Amino acid sequence: MALIAQGQQAPAGAVPHVIHVGFAKAGSSLLQQWFLDHPEITFRQGGLGGFQDIYDLTRTTTHLKQPRCLVTSCEGLSAPRKDAGSINVDYSDMGAKMSARQENACQLLKTLFPNASILIVTRGFKGLMMSSYSQYVRTGGHDDLEYLFDTDGDPGCHYDALIALYREAFAGRVTVLPYELLCDDPGAFRTALEQVLGVGGHPFPQRRVNPSLSRIELRWYPRLARFIHRRHLGHRVRAAFVNCAFHNRLAVPIRWLDRLFPVKPVTPDCLPNSAMERFRGLAGTLKTDPLYHPYADRYLFGPAPTDGRPDQ
């Protein structure tokens, strides 16, 4: 199975460094937990080059055993923003000059880590939109799914453009894998991942990491967010609400609310056809990759349906 891009390697004697350019809701949380648990990998949540800070590096030098691989992993690398790492997100800032930000991030990584390898995990557009919406709601978003994506703006997920950036900067050292393979065949995905990292076998976490909200919760949290916004209850109240939404602490009250005032659940069918079609042609570079053949419809490789409906 030809999974790994072949090309330049790290200098002899150097510990390989793999940079995971994560997309939101494309298995990043599970992979980061796996990186953290793996005995042959040095990784720190929110760290850089495998270390949290210079003191973490200093402590690591007290161990005689050297790591086989250093890992940096961050979803913010695919969508850089000024409030990265915070659950209080300024969504008005998300689309502004995103392509320039992505290019700046890529070039900075190239300057800092010229011999690193790049791992990019993608997700089919409909699944990505649904899970991204869940993350949007968890961070205080107040727009309904139907309204949020029924626009003519930038769809915000140009796989071709981002992959091209990294393939140019890290020639021969870029691996792209589908999230769908992780779901359908975790063993095959893990084998590919271990080959990229050059480490031995280690099982994935059995528990769900960073699960999405339920279909009812996806409808109620934005309603509650709008209630707070319209009544100008202040930053502290909004911050407390976002913290509750992020950790889904209102799940029980929402179940009771929905019994009293039932709402329409948020499902993939709520996505406007026009929203889906904006993604067609943005993942063409993956079309010839055998790993993506089973998921051609999810990445909208084909032409637009003649009846105007997106591929299912």
Residues 254/273, Cβ–Cβ less than 8 Å: no
Report which secondary-structure segment, H or E, holds 176: strand 174-178
What pLDDT does 94 receive?
Answer: 55
Structure tokens at 86: 């915070």
Phi, psi for 237 (deg, rounded to 5): -65, -45
* pLDDT at residue 1, rounded to an integer: 42
pLDDT the model gives residue 155: 55
Q: In 3-state terms, what secondary structure has residue 302? A: coil
Question: CATH classification of 17-211+271-295 is 3.30.429.10, yes or no?
Answer: no
Q: What pLDDT is recorded for position 293?
A: 94
The parts of the chain modelled with pLDDT lower than 50 are 1-8, 12
Contact 41, 49 (CB under 8 A): no
Helices of type H across the chain: 28-37, 54-60, 98-112, 125-138, 145-149, 159-169, 179-184, 186-197, 215-230, 235-246, 251-260, 273-277
Q: How far apart are CA 69 and CA 217, in angstroms?
A: 39
Predicted local distance difference test score (pLDDT) of residue 156: 63
Q: Do residues 179 and 27 lie in contact, with contact meaning Cβ atoms separated by under 8 Å?
A: yes
Per-residue CA distances from 10 to 7, 13, 126 (Å): 10, 8, 37
Domain chopping of the chain, boundaries: 17-211+271-295
Region of 39 (left: φ > 0; alpha: ψ -120 to 50; beta: rest) is: alpha
The pLDDT value recorded for residue 7 is: 42
Q: Under a CB-based contact definition with an 8 Å cutoff, are residues 109 and 119 in contact?
A: no
Residue type at position 11: P
Structure token pair of residue 150: 């029924």
CA 93 to chain centre: 18
Token digits for 118?
């790049």
pLDDT of residue 4: 43
For residues 72 and 19, is the Cβ–Cβ distance under 8 A? yes
